[in-house]
Amino acid sequence: MNRYCARLVNALLTLATVLLVAVPARAGEGPFAFIYTLDLQPKGTFQFEQWEYLQAGQSQGDYLFLTNRSEIEYGFKNWFQIGLYINTEYTYAYQNGVDGTTGGPGTNIDPNSDPFSPYSSFRFKSISFENIVRLMNPYTDAFGFGLYFEPAIGPYGYELEWKFLFQKNFLDDRLVLAANIVLETEQEWRSGTTEYASVIDTIIGASYRFADKWSLGVEARNHREFSGQAFNSPEHSAYFIGPTIHYSSEKWWATLGWRHQLPWTQAFNDDQQSVIVNGQIFGGEHAGDEIMLRVGIPFKLPWR
Amino acid sequence: MRWIPALTAPLALIVTVPAAAAVYFTTEQAQQAMFPGASFAQVPLQLTDQQRRTMYDRSGVHEPFKSDRVWRVSTGGYFVIDEVVGKHERIKYAVAIGSDGAIKQIEIMEYRESYGYEVRELSWRQQFVGKSASSPLKLDGDIKNIGGATLSCKHITDGVKRVLAMYEVALRHSS
């Protein structure tokens, strides 16, 4: 991580600190770790949100890939929320590849270096701009429906992400069923090459508020990756599932989720097949486990 | 693994943000605010399964209704306390029902949500005055919603409808 990036992250956190100690809190948050719901920030309110997304474990060796997202969200309208993220990454890998070499998602290894030596890096990844429009409200309409669009750009590539958000509540809104269909197209510059990819993710989940402030749920993901930026030809399809626990109060909330990669991966070419071990795909694509911690602290500007 | 001290800052903030209680009325305070100078006799109400089913059918509220929070008022009418689900905790509110079976007043007694405090405003609560068991009591119908407070508006509206259904099936003919 260079000095400029460190200053940028610290400046954002300092800004959040100043705002948070000065004003009363307001909030809008969903009970899932990975799934977006249609609980948006009320008009004129802000929220600071920190994501810590850890991908851990490949077929052998050591592998950790931590994505940090620091975000300020703002309710532009009651039905329209915007957000600005700063994304950074920490990666540690050591002889984790199927062939015993060092690599994996998040690594940016010089092709001329020793492929068996340990690798670690902390780097600024990108800035992204989130937009969520709620077209149907799950509290007043038959079900909730919304659209999400997020462009991201940084020194190692760019991404465009679209999501279709669905939500249906039951039992006095204690039980939340939600689904996201995610379309993503990206261009990544690493290890001296440019990679083009596109992704279709389908994420579904259920969460139940079993006590005041506490919800427990489950989230499942099917991830389908394609070569090229226009969903050109399928590369692989992988499945993840795991539990989520959510705590929320007037002043802050936190959600912890874990997804494990199931041994059901399908590869659609020889390259992808070569990095599948016991039904799980690794290589430059995935880890065995995904852990997400999200913490949200709503706030309101003191002069509003 | 090398830890980045800056990333721990949000966790430190969480610990330092103070909590705020939001109890606006005790039972006695709400009683005197809604029926000044009256005395109150608790009603030994025991709802049958059929009565509870009717209350659910009319309101759609699953949260259990506590039947030990109903009082007969010396000047006529009933004072009822109920709770509905909020975003994080339950919302406690009181309903004053006049001797004619119509709502005289509602008050929010406890509210601990991050937002939606507009439900305490008189202009919103005033919409319930005069409503009876035969009123639609539907959000975005005869009760206006407040943007950014939809969940609270919806649940309180449904809760009041259930209280009126309870009055209709259990109290009206015992007056």
- Check if the beta carbon of residue A155 is closer than 8 Å to that of residue A143: no
Q: What is the pLDDT of residue A283?
A: 84
Closest among A178, A283, A180, A282 to A222, alpha carbons compared: A180
A248–B2 CB contact, under 8 Å: no
Provide, for chain A, the percentages of residues in helix, strand and coil under a 3-state DSSP scheme, each rounded to the nearest 5.
10, 60, 35
Contact assignment for B4 to A120 by CB distance below 8 Å:
no
Give the separation between CA B6 and CA A94, rounded to whole angstroms: 26
Instruction: Flag if B154 and A48 touch (Cβ within 8 Å).
Output: no
Query: What is the rounded CA–CA span in Å between residue B162 and residue A83?
Result: 39
- Based on the structure, what is the number of domains in chain A? 1
B165 belongs to a structural domain: yes
Average pLDDT, integer, range A157-176: 96
Q: What is the pLDDT of residue B97?
A: 97
Residue B138 resides in a domain: yes
CB within 8 Å: B115 and A26: yes
The pLDDT value given to residue A128: 96
Does residue A12 have a pLDDT over 70? no
Cβ atoms within 10 Å, residue B173: 7
Distance CA(B43)–CA(B72), nearest Å, equals: 6
Three-state DSSP at B88 gives coil
C-beta separation of A241 from A248 below 8 A? no
B14 touching A (Cβ < 8 Å): yes
Percent of chain A with pLDDT over 90: 76
Number of C-beta neighbours around residue A167 at 10 A:
25
Residue A42 structure tokens:
């009320």
Q: Does the beta carbon of A45 lie under 8 angstroms from any beta carbon of chain B?
A: yes
8 Å CB contact between A166 and A145:
yes
* Nearest neighbour of B13 by CB, restricted to A10, A17, A173: A17
Contact by Cβ (8 Å): B96, B35? yes
A74 pairs with which residues across the strands? A46, A82
Question: CA separation (Å) from A214 to A209, A223, A247, A254, B165?
Answer: 6, 29, 5, 10, 30
Q: Which domain holds residue B99?
A: 21-174
Report whether pLDDT(A231) > 70.
yes
Question: From the CA of A300, how many Å to the nearest CA of chain B?
Answer: 11
Whether residue A304 lies inside any domain: the answer is no
Cβ of B23 under 8 Å from any chain A Cβ?
no
pLDDT value at position B116? 83
Q: Cα separations (Å) of B160 from A249, B93, B132?
A: 25, 9, 10
How far apart CA A127 and CA A144 sit, in angstroms, is: 28
pLDDT at residue number B115? 83
The secondary element (H helix, E strand) that includes residue A238 is: strand A233-248
Q: A304 pLDDT band (50/70/90 cuts)?
A: low
* B89 touches A at CB < 8 Å: yes
Cβ contact (<8 Å) for A251 and B85? no
d(CA B19, CA A174): 23
* Cα of B88 to nearest chain A Cα, Å: 5
Instruction: Tell whether B10 lies on the interface with A, counting CB pairs under 8 A.
Output: yes
A217 assigned to some structural domain: yes
Q: Does residue A187 form part of some domain?
A: yes
Q: What is the ipTM of this complex?
A: 0.84
**Beta strand spans in A33-79 (E):** 46-56, 62-77
What percent of chain A stands above pLDDT 70? 89
Q: Which of chain A's residues have a Cβ under 8 Å away from the Cβ of B17?
A: 20, 25, 251-252, 297
Query: What is the secondary structure of B63-98 as a DSSP string?
Result: SPP-TT-EEEETTSSEEEEEEEE-SSSEEEEEEEE-
**CB atoms A139 and B13 under 8 Å:** no
**Secondary structure element (H or E) that encloses residue A39, with its range:** none
pLDDT confidence tier of residue A16, bands split at 50, 70 and 90: very low
More confident residue, B148 or A152: A152
State how far Cα B58 lies from the chain centre.
16
The DSSP output letter for B143 is: B
Residue A288 — very low, low, confident or very high, per pLDDT cuts 50/70/90? very high
- Quote the longest CA-to-CA distance of chain B: 73
B155 contacts A43? CB cut-off 8 A: no
CA A159, distance to chain mean position in Å, is: 13
- Identify the pLDDT of residue B113: 85
Count CB neighbours of B148 within 10 A: 23
Answer whether residue B74 is part of any domain: yes
A107-131 pLDDT per residue, tens: 888 888 899 999 999 999 999 999 9
Contact A172 B61 (CB under 8 A): yes
- A289 or A283: which leads in pLDDT: A289
Residue B66's closest CA among B88, B86, B81, B51? B81
Judge whether B11 lies within some domain: no
**How far is residue B159's CA from residue A129's CA, in Å, rounded to a whole number?**
39
Q: d(Cα A44, Cα A76) in Å, to the nearest integer?
A: 6
Domain assignment of residue A282, yes or no:
yes
Across chain A, what does the average pLDDT equal? 89
CB half-sphere exposure, B50, CA atoms < 13 A: 3
Distance CA A69, CA A220 (A): 22
Domain that holds residue A118: 3-299
Max intra-chain CA distance, chain A: 60
Secondary structure class of A218 (helix, strand, coil)? strand
- Say which of A92, A172, A298 has its CB closest to residue B85: A172
Distance CA A217, CA A258 (A): 11
Assess A123–B contact: CB distance below 8 Å, yes or no: no
pLDDT at A5: 45
Q: Which two tokens stand for residue A78?
A: 């009651």
CB contact under 8 Å between A297 and B14, yes or no, is yes
pLDDT tens for residues A71-116? 999 999 999 999 999 999 999 999 999 999 999 888 888 888 899 9
| Partner B contacted by A92 (CB < 8 A) | yes
Give a yes or no: residue B5 inside a domain: no
- pLDDT tens for residues A294-303? 999 988 776 6
Predicted pLDDT of residue B10: 46
Give how many domains chain B has, as a whole number: 1
Q: Which residue is listed with tokens 């919603």?
A: B145
φ, ψ for residue B49 (rounded to 5)?
-60, -40
CB contact under 8 A, A174 and B85: yes
User: Distance (Å, rounded) from C-alpha A236 to C-alpha A272?
Assistant: 7
Structure token pair of residue B148:
């950014």
- One digit per residue, the tens of pLDDT, for chain B of length 175 reads 444 444 444 444 443 343 344 899 999 999 999 999 999 999 999 999 999 999 999 999 999 999 999 999 999 999 999 999 998 999 999 999 999 999 999 999 999 888 888 999 999 999 999 999 999 999 999 999 998 899 999 999 999 999 999 999 999 887 5
**Average pLDDT of A246-252?**
92
